[in-house]
Structure 1
Amino acid sequence: MLVFEAVLEVVCVSLPGYIVARQGMFTAEMQKFAANLNVAVFTPCLIFIKLASQLTTDKLADLAIIPVIFIVQTLISYLCSIAVSKAFGFSKRPRNFVVAMGVFGNSNSLPISLVLSLSQTIKGLHWDNLPGDNDDEVAARGILYLLIFQQLGQMVRWSWGYNVLLAPAEKVEGTTENDNARLETGQAILGESEPLMGGTSTDDEGDEQDVSGSDDTRVENRETSKRSARGSHYGSEFRSGQQTPVTHRQHTSSFSSVFSSGGLSKSGPVPDLLPTPANGNIQAAGGMMSLPSIWSNTGPIDGDVTQDPKGFTARCRRAIQKTCGTIYRFISGACGSAFGALPDPLQTFLTTFGSMVGRFLLGVWSFMNPPLWAMLAAIVVASIPDLQRFFFGNGTFFKNSVTSAIRQSGGVAVPLILVVLGANLARNTLPADPSHTKEDQKEETKLLIASIISRMVLPFIIMAPLLAVTAKYVPVSILDDPIFVIVCFLITGAPSALQLAQICQINNVYMGAMSRLLFQSYVVWILPSTLVLVVCALEVVEWAQR
């Protein structure tokens, strides 16, 4: 009954978002704004308050087992998805879809809400290894565990999931769309090459009639006709009202863009289609500005007071830039002289090592986002007892002002996450496909059944005994934490991540099947599934403590 109460609380908070979205009051743009606001303000406040007030350095030592469990869960889900796809006789594209739905589970919106609710309703979740453990500490540890699982899933989801499993049809080898795309590409290249090889003109009728014009005019007309032809080609492929064409380069992950370039650059643009904390996407649209863009010598924007060359602000800016340039040249010259005096093998080693360290740091910088910065700040505060007392000491001025404001803002995060989750389930933000046939509906039904089995049934059946044996016999203290066992069970059988709907929209892949899957997973099956997961987790905790 306590588990049912916790699940029903989540449903009741999500229901208003679903209702207002169905009525058209909560549009896609409004959902995106609310999600980005939650990512930038409220979720970081929640993470900081829960972690910084409860964590200690001793609690952080046992977290290394989380990546191991994540890898095992991902591998088992992958094997289950492959087996189910073979049983249904799927080809490559639908098999990749089922694998994506099975591997990538929700580790953010729903589990966080359930963990916070369960920590307040079930009293058997206190950890015996922590004297004086309370409900707030249980919630803080649960959020920390989920945040680590979430970031691991983010890396795999936007690399393997986006570029391989849910890639556009024309990029999947062995499909009809891929063959047609290659044929069109070959024809386009051949068509552009024919005038050069054969010496004949392929321009339109207007260019052929304009024989009296000058050579420059004819060249300009030919270029205009080619641009028009390209525009008509894209117009036939992406009609009005459909998904805006997005190139592959624009949506590569921050890690891949930084490590492939090896240079200091901006993070690639983040997909601008409903990035919500409910679906696990924790980076606001637009990316994060890097250091070179801040210190670059670009001109001022329109309306900037620095456009006046005689203004005081412009003179100060030029003076600062000149001073910084002088200091930089002096330091670089001194370092270059010292580096040149070293032996050649040592120079080669330092160059290679510095490049590797620089790429790693740039990758970390590009990967960071407001919730991760909040977690880093919370770890720093928790690691310094004096700083922790400064933030959370009873009766202090800072706690009654700044810390209290952060706590109040953090209280908004979970309700807003659930409201956006309910709005996403309204299914009124996905574009309608007028060419949908009965055969497509039959295939979507098969994909729906296979995805639910691969995500919410088979991984739980296999992982539950493994988690039980691990909690009982593996001598790692974190496995004795009841909330950690519950988190592992929730992630094992959680529905497919809502962020997958965003990827399907970007790549125009099985959007109808994705919409039906979200409704079935989060509306129909979520209540019995969560009850089974939490009850089994509590039984494992009780058995492991005997």
Structure 2
Amino acid sequence: MSSSSPPGDTPIWPLFQTILGSITQVILVCVSGYVLARRGILDKSTQKQLNVINVNFFTPCLLFSKVAFILSPAKLRELWIIPIFFLLVSGVSLVVAWFLGNVFRLRPSQRNFAMAAATFMNSNSLPVALLQSLRCHNDTKDAIIGRALTYLLLCSTIGQFLRWSYGVHLLSKADPLEEEIGNTTGFQDDATHGHTTSHQLRPRTCVAPNRRHTTPVFYSFPSTPFLDAVNLPPEPETDSISDSDSNPDDDELQIPVWSRPSPTFLQRVGRSVRSIWKKVTNFLTPPLWASLISLAVALNQPLQHVLEVHLHPVQGAITQAGNCSIPVTLVVLGAYFHRPVEKTEAAPSTARSSWRRASFASSLREIFRLKAREEDRRSRVQQRVGKGEGRTIFVAIFARMIVVPALFLPFMAIGALRDHPPVFQDPVFILSNVLLLASPPALTLAQITQAVSSDTFERLISRTIFWSYCFVTPPAMVGYAVVAMLITKL
């Protein structure tokens, strides 16, 4: 990895072993989630509850521990180029995925998913594991890891800001097609069951309920042509009129709008402030709050010193809670691969009497017939909703791991050739950024999709993670690592 080492010293096999080891760890934790879901321990409701706990507690602790106790104002001043580089990569990834989504005619929600998967890359576990396996003749392993963590941590911090702000906005947009399918389900059910009985097709006779608090006074007279005539019990006419007139709801006075006092200046200001604060709180998710607070702590060195030295148990508790975030995310992600089979109703017992079996025969035939129609309708709906999933996965992976690295690698080579900015003189910086450019989609996307869109992207995110990590990442990351080493020799 140094300028004095020949290209033949490039450690291909250790790199490949490291990549396989990192992916195997992810797969094993996901398999445990699948087994738990298959045994019924990790059902849908439990998955949602785990994700809620993860989003509101474990992930904020992870973000706080990674930023508040490591970054400092001096590091931020020295590495000003990294935030600019990361934002530029994210913006280009977003545009590339949007363009490819339009070319492949993806639906709006699928295009948004592809844009999110292409923009938010794995900036923690996989690049760090790869950099730990590298060696440099003129540098120590601890120094390499220390500088690499600093580079990747800045990118990870900015990435978390983007994921839990704009990423949530992208993945929370509903698909118009799925909304239409959901809204028309009830009408299709009515149409399916409408032929079973003839009286359902006839117009129903409406009889007004006896609710004096909602019926106007003049509807109480029998001569008024409204709805059906109802035989009223013999009552003195005066009582009926007096009862109707005594109803306070019928004679309620409506205050004209012009007579209401206009709000004062302070009331208008308070209303505007409350409206703005409500929008801000809806936008700021718990992980985003944690990122902002951790950045404030990192920029305040006295407060950072208090947390690290005088409040060490607090720091340890936050760090331990943050270490639970990624495993919980992977367990829930593995549970997504399990598709529970719907239980069918058991047939009636043979011990029942013959007359009861005969009476149920026609009903059971009708129930099974309707159930077959319902299953057929659901399969058609799932085909419409799932149409384009393969193209969506292709767009997300192709944009994230092929197109974006191809666009930025020439600029990385030019920067290494001219050693400008000065940070390009560090080979670890070049390796970190190249691995970050080609890194697969972030695993936390599963956490975000479950939090903001429930089960809408469950199958899509699981398939995207499976294809990108199991098939594309091993050869791609080895190739990009070799390219990065060649760039450092320029």
Partner of 1:410 in structure 2?
Answer: 319
* Aligned residues of 1:50 and 1:139 also touching (Cα < 8 A): no
**Aligned counterpart for 1:531 among listed residues 466, 474, 478:** 478
Partner of 1:421 in structure 2?
Answer: 330
Q: Distance in 1 between matches of 2:317 and 2:25?
A: 18
Superposition RMSD on alpha carbons, in Å? 4.6
- Using a 3 Å threshold, how does the CA distance of structure 1 residues 60 and 125 change in structure 2: closer, same or farther? farther
- Using a 3 Å threshold, how does the CA distance of structure 1 residues 493 and 426 change in structure 2: closer, same or farther? farther
Alpha-carbon deviation of 1:431? 9.4
Alpha-carbon deviation of 1:15? 3.9
Partner of 1:283 in structure 2?
Answer: 286
* Aligned residues of 1:455 and 1:495 also touching (Cα < 8 A): yes
The C-alpha deviation readout for 1:445-468, integer Å capped at 9, x for no partner, is 232223322222211222222222
Q: Distance in 2 between matches of 1:140 and 1:380?
A: 18
Q: Distance in 2 between matches of 1:78 and 1:31?
A: 26
Alpha-carbon deviation of 1:409? 5.6
TM-score normalised to the size of structure 2? Answer: 0.59
* Aligned residues of 1:120 and 1:135 also touching (Cα < 8 A): yes
Amino acid at match of 2:120: G
- Using a 3 Å threshold, how does the CA distance of structure 1 residues 157 and 205 change in structure 2: closer, same or farther? same
Q: Distance in 2 between matches of 1:112 and 1:105?
A: 12
**Aligned counterpart for 2:430 among listed residues 457, 477, 485:** 485
**Aligned counterpart for 2:467 among listed residues 508, 511, 520:** 520
Q: Establish whether residue 81 from structure 1 lines up as the match of residue 136 from structure 2.
A: no
**Aligned counterpart for 1:96 among listed residues 100, 103, 111:** 111
**Aligned counterpart for 1:50 among listed residues 70, 85, 107:** 70
- Using a 3 Å threshold, how does the CA distance of structure 1 residues 91 and 423 change in structure 2: closer, same or farther? closer
Alpha-carbon deviation of 1:31? 4.4
| Deviating more after overlay: 457-466 vs 434-443 | 434-443
Alignment of 1:460-471 (within 5 A): 460-471=405-416
TM-score normalised to the size of structure 1? Answer: 0.53
Unpaired runs of 5+ residues, structure 2, are 1-12, 187-203, 217-270, 342-377
**Aligned counterpart for 1:377 among listed residues 290, 294, 297:** 297
- Using a 3 Å threshold, how does the CA distance of structure 1 residues 32 and 153 change in structure 2: closer, same or farther? closer
* Aligned residues of 2:98 and 2:115 also touching (Cα < 8 A): no
Alignment of 1:86-485 (within 5 A): 87-88=103-104, 90=105, 93=108, 96-97=111-112, 99-101=114-116, 103-106=118-121, 110-124=122-136, 133=143, 135-159=145-169, 161-162=170-171, 167-170=173-176, 205=205, 208-210=207-209, 213=210, 215-218=212-215, 263-265=276-278, 267-269=280-282, 283=286, 369-381=289-301, 398=309, 402-403=311-312, 406=315, 410=319, 413-414=322-323, 416-428=325-337, 435-437=380-382, 443-473=388-418, 475-485=420-430
- Using a 3 Å threshold, how does the CA distance of structure 1 residues 177 and 30 change in structure 2: closer, same or farther? closer
Partner of 1:506 in structure 2?
Answer: 453
Q: Secondary structure at the match of 2:439?
A: coil
- Using a 3 Å threshold, how does the CA distance of structure 1 residues 373 and 519 change in structure 2: closer, same or farther? same
- Using a 3 Å threshold, how does the CA distance of structure 1 residues 127 and 19 change in structure 2: closer, same or farther? same
The C-alpha deviation readout for 1:107-158, integer Å capped at 9, x for no partner, is xxx4212344345432439889xxx946335424431332123324544323
Q: Distance in 1 between matches of 2:401 and 2:473?
A: 10
Amino acid at match of 2:215: R
Q: Distance in 2 between matches of 1:126 and 1:410?
A: 33
* Aligned residues of 2:181 and 2:381 also touching (Cα < 8 A): no
* Aligned residues of 2:161 and 2:291 also touching (Cα < 8 A): no
* Aligned residues of 2:18 and 2:130 also touching (Cα < 8 A): yes
The C-alpha deviation readout for 1:264-298, integer Å capped at 9, x for no partner, is 4585458xxxxxxxxxx9725xxxxxxxxxxxxxx
**Aligned counterpart for 1:14 among listed residues 13, 21, 26:** 26
Q: Secondary structure at the match of 1:111?
A: coil
* Aligned residues of 2:336 and 2:459 also touching (Cα < 8 A): no
Amino acid at match of 1:147: T
Partner of 2:365 in structure 1?
Answer: none
Q: Secondary structure at the match of 2:392?
A: helix
- Using a 3 Å threshold, how does the CA distance of structure 1 residues 493 and 5 change in structure 2: closer, same or farther? same
* Aligned residues of 2:415 and 2:424 also touching (Cα < 8 A): yes
- Using a 3 Å threshold, how does the CA distance of structure 1 residues 410 and 468 change in structure 2: closer, same or farther? farther
Instruction: Please tell me whether Structure 1 or Structure 2 has the larger radius of gyration of its CA atoms.
Output: 2
Q: Distance in 2 between matches of 1:265 and 1:81?
A: 32
* Aligned residues of 1:105 and 1:491 also touching (Cα < 8 A): no
- Using a 3 Å threshold, how does the CA distance of structure 1 residues 402 and 534 change in structure 2: closer, same or farther? farther
Q: Distance in 2 between matches of 1:268 and 1:78?
A: 25
Q: Distance in 1 between matches of 2:385 and 2:329?
A: 29
- Using a 3 Å threshold, how does the CA distance of structure 1 residues 86 and 264 change in structure 2: closer, same or farther? closer
- Using a 3 Å threshold, how does the CA distance of structure 1 residues 8 and 50 change in structure 2: closer, same or farther? farther
